[in-house]
Amino acid sequence: MVGAITRTPLQNDDTILLPERIGDLTGLDAYGTGGELLAIFLAAFLIGNLMLAMTGVAGPWAKRKITAAFTDRIAVNRLGPAGILIIVADSVRLLSKELIIPENADRPAYDLAPIVIASSALLGFAVIPMGSGIHLADPEVGLAYVFAVAGIASIGLVMAGYASSNKYSMLGGLRAVAQNVAYEIPLVVTGMSVVIFAGSLQMSTIVEAQAATFDLGIVSIPAWYALVNPFAFVLFLVANFAEVGRNPFDTPEAPTEIVAGYQTEYSSVYFVLIYLGEFLHIFLGGAIIATIFLGGPAGPGPAELGIVWFLIKIWAVFLLTQWLRSAVPRVRIDQLIEIGWKGLLVLSFANLVLTAVIVGLIA
Amino acid sequence: MARLRPKNEQSTLICVGYESPNVTEMNDWIAIGMLALVGLSIPLGMMVVSYLIRPSVPETSKRATYESGEIPTGGTRIRFNIQYYMVALLFVVFDIETVLLFPWAVVYQDALASPEYGLLEALGPMLLFVAILMIGLAWAWRTGAVQWAQTRTQAASDTDRQ
């Protein structure tokens, strides 16, 4: 069945990226290197703001509405249709809060942590092919790059936890880093089993390799890696939830144990930035899952609809995180470490070796 | 865009070899650097906006460390569970291992397709490598490095684990 794997070249240069499209559309190409740089800047600006807008919808509005639906409540409904204008009201409210900095805070680190957390997540979206030509950069090392920049957030969490000079923050920061390092390896090793199929780390090549279909008599299903290797898909989902610190793995900020973990002492715009960074990480996790397991922007209809399918896929992952938040209890820190090192790590290596052996036997 | 990103004539690469750094890659990294710039200016911009509109009512008591309403006691540089150190140490080993496995995963299918290498040559060294690490993990498991450390009272009650 897996015989339908198509071999693709390691480096794929046919993709037309967003900077080029913008350069063509606006005629900036005619102005030499400066025009090209401006086109690249416009593309980066567009991607950054698209992600910011999604976080804006998710944080103050969608999250409340979804949780309310699970617990049979109504949630925000006063401002605008279905309360959607709460996004504007909340942004103004949060940005105009007084910034209270704890007296023993370790200043440069305390101020830098929110910036590190927020911008590291945004960096990852550079290599994600979002369909409809929205794809900023396509380096050969795409998948390794996205894992690398998503990992930077751990540093921000430790900085926030240590610099706040608060015992809850300290414990939260320690828990966050213990969790991130425990689940980073299963995440990357499971991602590697996809690389074995695709034969490349380049995101566009990984998406293209999933374009084939299997014919199962009556129906033909797409060769998405979630369907080719469902075991890897489940492992990756679990490791991803731990990596972004969502239920059942939200131990670092467990409100019933350590107040809010590493973000206990953060208020005003700093709190907004940490919150923003967390949501960006959920969406980055969703984007990685969509790209390497769910065919990226693939879907029925013309190729121009790519961005729609892509957004549907990452919002589906977001909905899943909110579902788990309402339905699944939190694991304890000792269970968390044991699940990571004794369970997921062993399973992910088993998955890698089995994938390699099966691919080797078929080839 | 033609200058920064020419069409690459060489469309198929059989195996990873050293390629002179071409301009295509350059353009990708310029775009990523530009996103880093945007990613930094968005938080900084929000900080500036907040600085302009937020009030400031300085008062010493509100800057006290939050300890659930109690008067804070002692410093924050507390002693913590040794386990956090153990897992960080293990992570260093396994993280380097995953970095070493990535190139193998990329060339694996090409190695299988080429007539020079059989399944044993392509898969064997990786299996050996993973096996050595798994022995390391088994040893860490046996010595309790991945088992959450407990104090005697905690082990006795086995309910109140932190």
**Model confidence over A332-359: pLDDT tens digits?**
888 888 888 888 989 999 999 898 888 8
Give ipTM to 2 decimals: 0.83
Residue A114 above 50 pLDDT?
yes
B152/chain A closest Cα distance in angstroms: 16
Q: Is residue B54 part of a domain?
A: no
Measured between beta carbons, the chain A residues lying within 8 angstroms of B21 are: none
Task: Say yes or no: A47 contacts chain B, CB-CB below 8 A.
Answer: yes
Query: CA angle A177-A181-A185, nearest 5°?
Result: 160
Q: Domain segments of chain A: what residues?
A: 97-362
Tell me the pLDDT tens digit for each residue of B54-105: 888 888 778 888 877 777 777 777 777 778 888 888 888 888 888 888 888 8
Residue B74 placed within a domain = no
How far CA B136 is from CA of A342, B49, B84, B133, in Å, comes to: 13, 52, 19, 5
- Secondary structure of residue B103 in the 3-state scheme: helix
Token digits of residue A28 = 């900036």
Higher pLDDT, B101 or A12: B101
Per the CB < 8 Å rule, is A48 touching B5? no
Nearest to A236 by CA among A179, A174, A193: A193
Residue in chain B nearest A268 by alpha carbon: B50
Query: How distant, in Å, are the alpha carbons of A108, A116, A214, A269, B82 from that of A104?
Result: 12, 21, 61, 19, 25
Distances (CA, A) of A90 to A171, A280, B45: 29, 18, 17
Tokens encoding A330: 């939190």
**CB B31 within 8 Å of CB A126:** yes
Nearest chain B residue to A361 by CA distance is B119
**Taking CB atoms and an 8 Å limit, are B105 and A342 in contact across chains?**
no
DSSP class of residue A342?
I
Long-range contacts of A55-62 (CB under 8 A, 24+ apart): A55/A276, A55/A279, A55/A280, A55/A283, A56/A87, A56/A91, A57/A87, A58/A279, A58/A282, A58/A283, A58/A318, A59/A90, A59/A275, A59/A276, A59/A279, A60/A86, A60/A87, A60/A90, A60/A91, A61/A86, A61/A87, A62/A318, A62/A322
Average pLDDT over residues A12-30: 73
Q: Does residue B139 surpass a pLDDT of 60?
A: yes
Mean pLDDT, residues A211-238 taken together: 82
Q: Position B24: which residue type?
A: T
A68/A13 Cα distance (integer angstroms): 46
pLDDT, average across residues A240-251:
83
Pick the residue from chain B with its C-alpha nearest to A22. Answer: B1
Q: Count, in order, helices (H) and strands (E) of chain A.
A: 15, 2
Nearest to A65 by CA among A326, A244, A295: A326
Q: What is the least distance, in Å, from the CA of A163 to any CA of chain B?
A: 10
Q: Which of A114, A178, A187 lies closest to A150, judged by CA?
A: A187
Chain A closest-CA separation from residue B153 CA (Å): 16
**Tokens standing for residue B112:** 């299988």
User: Distance between CA B84 and CA A235 in Å, rounded?
Assistant: 24
pLDDT of residue B158: 59
Residue B4, Ramachandran bin (φ over 0: left; ψ between -120 and 50: alpha; else beta): alpha
CA distance A265 to A160: 9
Residue B161 lies in a domain: no
Binding-face residues of A in 254-273 toward B, CB within 8 A: 259, 264-265, 268-269, 272-273
Is residue B138 less than 8 Å (CB to CB) from chain A? Answer: no
**Residue numbers of B between 25 and 64 with CB closer than 8 Å to A:** 25, 27-32, 34-40, 42-44, 46-47, 49-51, 53-57, 60, 62-64
Domain-embedded: residue B130: yes
Contact between B8 and A11 under an 8 Å Cβ cutoff? The reply is yes
Which neighbouring-strand residues pair with A215? Answer: A220
Which of A187-201, A246-260, A338-352 has the least mean pLDDT? A246-260
More confident residue, A334 or B44: B44
| Over residues A286-301, mean pLDDT | 86
B121 in reach of chain A (CB within 8 A):
no
Residues of chain A positioned with their CB less than 8 A from the CB of B31: 17, 19, 40, 43-44, 126, 136-137
- What phi and psi, each to the nearest 5 degrees, are found at residue A220? -115, 130
Q: Is the pLDDT of residue A71 over 80?
A: yes
Q: How far off is chain A from B156, nearest CA to CA, in Å?
A: 16
Question: A112: Cβ–Cβ under 8 A, 6 or more apart, which residues?
Answer: A156, A159
User: What is the per-residue pLDDT for A14?
Assistant: 61
| B146 interfacial to chain A (CB closer than 8 Å) | yes
Q: What is the pLDDT of residue B75?
A: 76
Domain assignment of residue B101, given as a range: 83-151
- Please tell me the distance from the alpha carbon of residue A105 to that of residue A161, in angstroms, as a whole number: 10
Q: What percent of chain A has pLDDT over 90?
A: 12
Percent of chain A with pLDDT over 70: 95
**Chain B residue closest to A35 (CA)?**
B1
Angstroms from A194 CA to nearest CA on chain B = 9
Interface of A with B in 286-325 (CB under 8 A): none
pLDDT on residue A6: 42
Phi, psi angles (nearest 5°) of residue A340: -65, -55
Residue A87 contacts residue A57 (beta carbons within 8 Å): yes
Q: What are A137's two structure tokens?
A: 């950069």
E-only strand ranges, A202-335: 213-216, 219-222
Answer yes or no: is pLDDT of A122 > 70: yes
Which residues of chain A neighbour B47 with C-beta distances below 8 Å?
269, 273
Q: How confident is the model at residue A287 (pLDDT cuts 50, 70, 90)?
A: very high
**SS3 state at A216:** strand
Nearest to B46 among A100, A273, A356 (CB): A273
For residue A288, what pLDDT band results from cuts at 50, 70 and 90? very high
Q: Are A261 and A176 in contact (CB under 8 A)?
A: yes
Angle value at C-alpha B85, between B80 and B86, nearest 5 degrees: 125
Which chain B residue is nearest to residue A251, measuring alpha carbons? B162
* The total number of structural domains that make up chain B: 1
Confidence at residue A4, expressed as pLDDT on a 0 to 100 scale: 40
Higher confidence at residue B149 or residue A51?
A51
- Mean pLDDT confidence for A234-250: 86
In chain A, DSSP assigns E strands to 213-216, 219-222
d(Cα A46, Cα A143) in Å, to the nearest integer? Answer: 22
- Distance from the Cα of A71 to chain B's closest Cα (Å) equals 28
Mean per-residue pLDDT over chain A, rounded: 84
Q: What is the pLDDT of residue B15?
A: 42
Q: Cβ contact (<8 Å) for A119 and B105?
A: no
Q: Is the pLDDT reported for residue A236 higher than 90?
A: yes
What residues of chain B lie within 8 A of the CB of A100, using their CB?
62-63
B117 close to B111: Cβ distance less than 8 angstroms:
yes
Q: Which two tokens stand for residue A289?
A: 């899952």
Strand-pair partners of A220 = A215
Predicted confidence at residue B159, as pLDDT, reads 54
At residue A338, the pLDDT reads 85
Minimum mean pLDDT among A8-22, A267-281, B137-151: which range?
A8-22
Q: What is the pLDDT of residue A302?
A: 76
Testing the interface with A: which of B30, B37, B66 to mutate, by most A Cβ within 10 A? B66
Question: Which chain B residues are within 8 Å of A119, Cβ to Cβ?
Answer: 36, 39-40, 42-43
Task: Provide the pLDDT for residue A7.
Answer: 44
**Taking CA atoms, what residue in B is nearest to A339?**
B146
| Spatial CA neighbour of B86 closest among B154, B155, B160, B139 | B139
The answer to whether the bond into A230 is cis (omega within 30° of 0) is no
| Half-sphere exposure at residue A281, Cβ-oriented, CA atoms within 13 angstroms | 29
Please say whether the beta carbons of A236 and A230 come within 8 A.
no
B-interface mutation test, from A117, A169, A192, most B Cβ less than 10 A away: A192
